[in-house]
Amino acid sequence: MTRLGLLAAGFKRHRLRLLLTGLSIVVAFLLFGVLVAVRQAFAAGVSVAGRDRLVVRHRISIIQLLPESYEAEMEKLPGVVDATPASWFGGIYQDPKNFFGQFPVKPEEYLRMYPEFRLPPEQKAAWLATRTGAVAGRKLADRFHWKVGTRIPIQPTIWIPKKDSSWQFDLVGIYDGAQKETDTSRFLFRQDYFEENRRFASGMIGWYYIRVADPKRAAAVAQSIDDHFTNSSAETKTETEGAFAQGFANQMGNIGAIVTAILSAVFFTILLVAGNTMAQTVRERTQELGVLKALGFSNAEVLAMVLGESCLLAGTAGLIGLGLGFALAAGGDPTGGYLPNFMFPAKDLLLGAALILLLGVAAGALPALQAMRLRTVDALRRE
Amino acid sequence: MFRWFSQVAALTLFNLKTLPQRLGSVAAAVVGMAGVVAVLVGVLSIQQGFRRTMAVSGAPDVALVLRGGSDGEMTSILGRDDVRLIAEGPGLARDSTGALASPELFVIINLPKKSTGTDANVPMRGVTPAAFGVHDQVKLVEGRRFEWGRNEVIVGRAAQGQFRGLDVGSQLHLGQNVWTVVGAFTADGGLPESEIWTDAAVLQPAYRRGNSFQSLKAKLVSAGSFQRFKDALTADPRLNVKVQRETEFYAGQSRALTAIVTILGLIIGILMGLGAVFGALNTMYTAVAARSREIATLRALGFRSSPVLLSVIAESIALAALGGAVGALGAWLAFDGYQAATMNWQSFSQVAFAFRVGPALLLLGLFYALALGLVGGLFPAIRAARLPVATALRE
Amino acid sequence: MTVSMSHPSLVPVTAGHSATLARVRGVAKDFRRGAEVVHVLRGLDLEVPRGEFLALMGPSGSGKSTLLNLLGGLDRPSAGSVEVGGEQIDRLSERALARWRARHVGLVFQFYNLLPVLSAAKNVELPLLLTPLSRAQRKRQVATALALVELEHRAGHLPRQLSGGEQQRVGIARAIVTDPTLILADEPTGDLDRKTGDGILDLLSALSRDHGKTVVMVTHDPHAAGRAGRVLHMVDGQLSTEMAA
């Protein structure tokens, strides 16, 4: 037997209690996984917003349309490198429950604006060659098991097509995100097809994305765009993509923060119970700790052993829980489309690990220190 | 029989008397259970509150007419002729002004939220005089009604609470137009309270809608007249409409949020329940182990196995009930009536609602706690009753 | 019960060591019990020759266990000095005292104090973890100790699978495995029947007689005390005149 062996032997004690405590910790960290995924989901795109991208929308209301002539005007303004339009299509795919964002865009420009959307060159070429062509993000395509070549009919709600009763698209490409957090739930199709096939609002689009030359001057450029269109028929409101996403998040906002707070409370409650049990186990071993000290183990050595046990338990169970939470979150949006950003951000793994360590140390150290303060002779005398 | 009961009672009392010695783990178990119940009730209260707002918003004797195939008011359009035809439908209630058929226009404007300062979507509704007859739950509580033909608006109380610049007397600058807020209204806590109302005739030109509306809400003579009204409209070849009861429509409107909260609530509830069961099992096994010698002594003295079993379960349930009650009470105090606002995806605008902790929800929380207490006590109880007396006495 | 004498690691006492192993001078020990202070030991002197089997007798509360604890460095005196094997143990730091104890003292308890999750052999091995011995050397030492108490065949058993007498023998094996000079036994036969207790006492006297260990035993049983070479009585924290064995 080695010191480590002595440590491991400790786990033979109260196997059932160990298992139950371990399971509580697993559940607690599984919940942690859900928590961070929910928080991420409600943070809706703020973290991936481009630092050099702006969003230009109608000042009065997001649902008001802007003239497509604005594109050329804005590109002439100082500080503006590129401008491209997008609109809200809002159609239904098979069932209203299959919700996802559909956007008519100008392919070349849009892909330039979103370099983090990676589309293979041959697929891009196909998109440019096919009028009814559409490109979907990886997450979206996986959700409905679409492959390149699938025909995708979409029922209109706002935009009635000139011919037929529904819009027919051909999936010519699937884009992947440069990072894990990149939004790959979008459905993109061609602006010219949209323009020629819709019955009204000709020449109008939903909003613009702007790329600025210098991110540090983003606010100034935004102001200059709005100033340019003041007193025109369609006044604009321009802000950074991050601010735009934050505004959206704030509209969802309350709920996200509340759910996060609630989950935190649950998480800490479970940990409290588990921690208490672990601490109790240590307290029950006061007599054994006394024996070890009588045999000549120093205070520090005994403390280290106790801490080692509690950290090993917390660590094993905690890592399993984190792993399960990670896997669960990787399964994607459990609400079927309403929370596309539901995922476990890698940086929160560090937070989880820190909490595991905290649990192990707190559960073991506090009662061990208490036991340590007892005189060896008193500890020995305990039942 | 009586002896048996008195044994159970005696044992349970005995168990409970030893609680002060085990205060640490008992407190942890109670706190744990309280937390579980509080959270379950809290999360579900979001859904309950939102549902209530939706339910109160609609009346079963009001029919909502949209263009055929529309999902909601935003994507619907009704022309002037359509409106005239619909208003002639059978089964409509009438008052001095005529048929209680209210054609309505629905747009969204952006206003900064009081809580974050960032812009959010606010619903703005253009109405005709019939609207006040149809939506009889709308009551003016401050100021006066807007005058027809003027750039005046009245705002819902909830909207006032959520957004800046909606106090009576303030002015809204929307593009080229300036609107004055002249009054505030309540609507039993329903959706209209999150809206801003004005004269449709003034809103239409401001938004270049010509003479068109988006929806029509009609008050029926009775809830039973709905079918007659609906059939007449759908049969009419001149019309392409979708007719629903207002209650049905709003139930559908809460789809997104209900989905989110229900699914998240389920996940949380199951995980929490698991955690609570493990915690409860742990506590009870520890409790039983700590007193195995006493329990064995009792059995050696002649108490039978089943009273021992039941007393352990009774203790577990008692602790769970205590924790559950604390949690339910805490949730009620903390959450009931809490004002929140979120995005109503169907109307793409903010809807204010209050968390609601009703008696049904409290009972659900308590039952959940009792169930967890039962499960948490069952296995340890069986073990306590089955342990050979001799072994236990030696421990 | 026979005791083998040819165990190489447990050598008998050699010349060159001082004849006195332990020297206690003017030792007092006070305990705080609530608000009052109890003087358990009052100005006590004691000399224990090397290789002696000494029994300390006295009623409960007389302080005999306290004196034993002081000899073993499990506690510090409120006044006076304790010297064992030439070392002033009352002056050592907590950490040094622990190390000293590991090397020089073997403890035998009334209720055995074995770790329930470890087998007999592992329990015996415990004190060796504090030494620089290799794993192989430890194994050998454990085997020797277990052979001495005649429990090699039960080496893999857990304490709960052993009888009281066997557990105490494991306790003794643990106490001697580091080859300490001083063995302290606190009521070692208190929990055993007469016959089993006699076996334990045989072991303890053999350790003193054949292996040169110094054994100090606390007991309230005159029969057990009778097996010792010298008996001292403790009354109210003071040692009274010795009675011949």
Out of A61, A90, A266, closest to residue B75 by CB: A90
Instruction: Confirm or reject contact between B158 and chain A (CB < 8 A).
Output: no
The subunits that touch chain A, with at least 3 C-beta pairs less than 8 Å apart, are B, C
* Chain C hits for A13, Cβ within 8 Å: 116-117
Residue of A nearest to B286 (CA): A17
CA distance C181 to C106: 8
- Complex-level ipTM: 0.75
What residues contact A254, with CB distance under 8 A and at least 6 apart? B115, B340, B341, B342
* Chain A hits for C101, Cβ within 8 Å: 294-296
CA distance A104 to A204: 12
CA distance A165 to C241: 116
Interface of A with C in 284-343 (CB under 8 A): 287-288, 290-300
Residue of A nearest to B112 (CA): A247
Assessment of whether the complete model's pTM goes beyond 0.90: no
> Could you write out the three-class secondary structure of chain C?
CCCCCCCCCCCCCCECECCEEEEEEEEEEEEEECCEEEEEEEEEEEEEECCCEEEEECCCCCCHHHHHHHHCCCCCCCEEEEEECCEEHHHCCHHHHHHHHHHHEEEECCCCCCCCCCCHHHHHHHHHHHCCCCHHHHHHHHHHHHHHCCCHHHCCCCHHHCCHHHHHHHHHHHHHCCCCCEEEEECCCCCCCHHHHHHHHHHHHHHHHCCCCEEEEEECCHHHHCCCCEEEEEECCEEEEEEEC
* Chain A hits for C100, Cβ within 8 Å: 296
B324-366: per-residue pLDDT in tens? 999 999 999 988 888 888 877 777 788 888 888 999 999 999 9
A259-310: per-residue pLDDT in tens? 678 777 777 877 777 887 888 777 777 778 888 888 888 888 888 888 888 8
Q: Verify whether the Cβ–Cβ distance A273 to B256 is below 8 Å.
A: no
CA distance A45 to A31: 22
Q: Verify whether the Cβ–Cβ distance C118 to A300 is below 8 Å.
A: no
Name the DSSP letter for residue B92. Answer: B
* Chain B hits for A36, Cβ within 8 Å: none
Out of B38, B70, B175, closest to residue A157 by CB: B70
Beta carbons of C97 and C82 less than 8 angstroms apart: no
Residue of A nearest to C113 (CA): A291
pLDDT tens for chain B, residues 1 to 395: 677 777 777 777 777 777 776 777 778 778 888 888 888 888 888 888 888 888 788 888 899 999 887 778 888 889 888 888 888 888 888 888 788 899 999 888 889 988 888 888 899 999 999 999 899 889 999 999 999 999 999 999 999 988 999 999 999 988 778 999 999 999 988 889 999 999 999 999 888 788 889 999 999 988 888 999 999 898 888 888 999 998 888 877 777 777 777 788 778 878 888 887 887 787 777 777 766 766 777 666 666 677 777 888 888 888 899 999 999 999 999 888 888 888 777 777 888 888 889 999 999 999 989 998 898 888 888 877 777 666 666 54
Instruction: Confirm or reject contact between A202 and chain B (CB < 8 A).
Output: no
Chain A closest CA to B270's CA: distance in Å? 10
Chain A closest CA to B32's CA: distance in Å? 5
* Chain C hits for A5, Cβ within 8 Å: 122
Instruction: Confirm or reject contact between A13 and chain B (CB < 8 A).
Output: no
Chain B closest CA to A359's CA: distance in Å? 15
The number of C-beta contacts closer than 8 angstroms across A and C is 66
Instruction: Confirm or reject contact between B281 and chain A (CB < 8 A).
Output: yes
Q: Verify whether the Cβ–Cβ distance B32 to A270 is below 8 Å.
A: yes
* Chain C hits for A1, Cβ within 8 Å: 118, 122, 125, 129
* Chain C hits for A299, Cβ within 8 Å: 94-95, 98
Chain C closest CA to A267's CA: distance in Å? 32
What residues contact B255, with CB distance under 8 A and at least 6 apart? A96, A97, B345, B346
Instruction: Confirm or reject contact between A257 and chain B (CB < 8 A).
Output: no
Chain B closest CA to A128's CA: distance in Å? 30
Enumerate the H helices of A229-331 as residue ranges.
Answer: 241-284, 286-295, 299-330
Q: Which of A59, A60, A95, A313 best probes binding to B when mutated, by most B CB atoms within 10 angstroms?
A: A60
Out of A20, A254, A265, closest to residue B35 by CB: A265
* Chain B hits for A280, Cβ within 8 Å: 24-25, 286
CA distance C245 to C231: 6
The label of the residue with tokens 């190390």 reads C99
Q: Verify whether the Cβ–Cβ distance A300 to C95 is below 8 Å.
A: yes
The subunits that touch chain C, with at least 3 C-beta pairs less than 8 Å apart, are A
Residues of chain C with pLDDT under 70: 1-17, 241-245
